[in-house]
Amino acid sequence: MAAAVVHPQFSVTSDQNQLHGLGMKAGNGDPLPDIGLLKPSTMDLPMDELRKRYNEDGYLWMKGILDKEKVMDMREQYFRFMTENGDTRILAEGTNPRNGIFSGEDWRNFLLPGALRVFNGLSDEGVFVDKVFKAHVADFYQKFKANAEEPLRDFVGELRQFQDPMLLKRTLLRCNVPGGETTPVHYDQIFLRAGPPTSITAWIPLGDCPLVGGGLMYLENSVTIGEKFEADFSEKSKSLTDEERISAFNKNMMAGGFLDRNAANFGKYWGRRWLVAHYEAGDVVFHNPFKIHASCRNESPEGIIRLSTDLRFVDQAKPFDERWLYEAYQDSDPNVASRQPQVAGRNGRM
Ligand SMILES: O=C(O)CCC(=O)C(=O)O
Ligand SMILES: [Fe+2]
């Protein structure tokens, strides 16, 4: 079984790689009964082996692919930005921004702009939302991306055998404060369906993220489930206009383009476990555009905020979804859920 780092209070039965009694919760707060561990991979493995794992599992959790200190510097700069010159009040007063300790204010104030705010009846307004918009184009984030881009682009280019790998300009920064609702169940192709399903996502925890820290989790053996959903959605969307068909928010989709806000129910329905991991700064998880994933609830006993960014790569020698060539959340970004009339109209449907 995977030699993952597990908090000592948790029990692991080695025969099945099955964890019980974790008290882990889905993004909506429901308990997650059966959990498995992600399989870690390291840079010293041959590319053929890494490719085999990616193709079989639909994900590749690479340990230590980025410089840990640079990742931690990014974390620190983000929390400084959220606190200085207009305090969002996300950090506990007097704490070190590098640690990212939550103030304990109402978690609703710190929901990301877009679908999660819509579900919770909030508009995309206020100091926090404003700072989130600005963080996406701030110098410190652009510099972090510029540094991470080359090694990650070379890696995915080789992994996916792309002719001309390219980082899509639209990238997302996400913080999950303890106790707050987190990313619902989805696969990424829903949001990238103006192109073929050939993109690859790099999910990057910006700081250490233990099992209960609100990290990303993957439904085991779920690429075929994602493919099935997409085939069903395409079938239902045949009569829509081209523009509606490629939208994650068309009338055949659930609110926000997601599959379910309750990952526990979703896993039970499909008879699959959610796979979790203790991530460390420097790790990157790559995933297939049909791989089903969601975030678990952040239950950090120390109040540590989960911060992450997701970068997506395509082969620019082939067709890809050009709606991702715009900076996230800026006026030119055509992908923000809360700006779609269909989403606002179906608030609370799922
Ligand atoms: O970080 C999250 O909560 C969601 C990330 C995600 O869905 C992705 O990277 O594709
Ligand atoms: Fe995703």
Residues 6+ apart with CB under 8 A from 88: 82, 110, 127, 128, 131
High-pLDDT (> 90) share of the chain, %: 79
Report the separation in Å between the CA atom of 186 and the middle of ligand 2, taken as the mean of its atom positions: 6
For the ranges 12-21, 41-50, 288-297, the lowest mean pLDDT is seen at 12-21
Fold that domain 39-343 belongs to in CATH: Jelly Rolls (2.60.120)
* pLDDT value at 19 more than 80: no
Question: What local confidence, expressed as pLDDT, does residue 3 receive?
Answer: 39
The model's pLDDT over 272-293, given as tens digits with 9 standing for 90+, comes to 999 999 999 999 999 999 999 9
Distance between Cα 287 and ligand 2 center (Å): 9
pLDDT digits (tens, 9 = 90+) for 150-200: 999 999 999 999 999 999 999 999 999 999 999 999 999 999 999 999 999
Mutational pocket test of ligand 1: of 60, 306, 308, the residue with most ligand atoms within 8 Å of the beta carbon: 308
What's the confidence (pLDDT) of residue 7?
42
Indicate which atom in ligand 1 lies nearest the CA of residue 202: 9
Distance (Å, rounded) from C-alpha 136 to C-alpha 134? 5
Q: Looking at residue 343, what is its pLDDT? A: 47
* Residues of the chain above pLDDT 70, percent: 91
| Residue 299 confidence (pLDDT) above 60 | yes
Q: Which residues line ligand 1 (CB under 6 A)?
A: 174, 182-183, 188, 201, 203, 216, 293, 295, 308, 310
Q: Binning pLDDT at 50, 70 and 90, where does residue 342 land?
A: low
Q: What is the band of 11 on the pLDDT scale with cuts at 50, 70, 90? A: very low
Q: Residue 316 half-sphere exposure, CB side, CA atoms within 13 Å? A: 12
Domain definitions of the chain by residue range: 39-343
